[in-house]
Amino acid sequence: MLGLLGLSAMATVITENEGHLSARTAEYAQDKMEQLLALKYGDTQSDTTVFPAATTGGTGLTAGGSSTPAGPTAKYVDYLDAAGTLLPSTGTTAPAGWFYKRVWAVSTVATNLKQITVTSIVARAVGNKQPPHATVSALKVYPF
């Protein structure tokens, strides 16, 4: 019975980290990607750190940002609580109660072509494991 108890605990940790948390990070990265892809190619003002995006106060699809969660760039990062609700934040300072962090980078690949990369990470994993994360990338072409 003791052997089964250890196996049960390990299965719970794996299910939570690789099932639930990994799925949520992928879902939240995709949500941010969809929000960014909905912007016009030349948008340099929309604030996508709020939802729905504000028409001013942000960077839109201006080249910049970072897809590395350890080094977020102001206006290219947002935070969600454990339920996936967007939390108000300023700069790169994480608000209290955040559980998911999303960072994104926009780069100009060629004339009329931008690459958008979004990475989402969870604050902590179950069982002292490495926190699950997901990265999605897409190309946006002008005039779309």
Q: What is the pLDDT of residues 87-117, one digit of tens each?
A: 999 899 999 999 999 999 999 999 999 999 9
Of 121, 133, 129, nearest in space to 10 by CA: 129
Of 108, 94, 100, 103, nearest in space to 135 by CA: 103
Q: Output the pLDDT for position 7.
A: 54
pLDDT average, residue stretch 23-31: 95
**Can you give the residue range of the structural domain that contains 107?**
2-141
Q: Output the pLDDT for position 5.
A: 61
pLDDT tops 60 at residue 26? yes
> What is the count of structural domains for the chain?
1
Q: What is the distance between the alpha carbons of residues 105 and 132, in angstroms, rounded to a whole number?
A: 19
Query: Burial, 47: exposed, middle or buried (Cβ in 10 Å; 0-12, 13-18, 19+)?
Result: middle
pLDDT average, residue stretch 58-73: 96
Average pLDDT of the chain to the nearest whole number: 89
pTM here?
Answer: 0.86
pLDDT tops 80 at residue 74? yes
- Split at pLDDT 50, 70, 90, the class of 17 is very low
Going by their DSSP bridges, the two strands 64-65 and 77-80 should be labelled as: unpaired
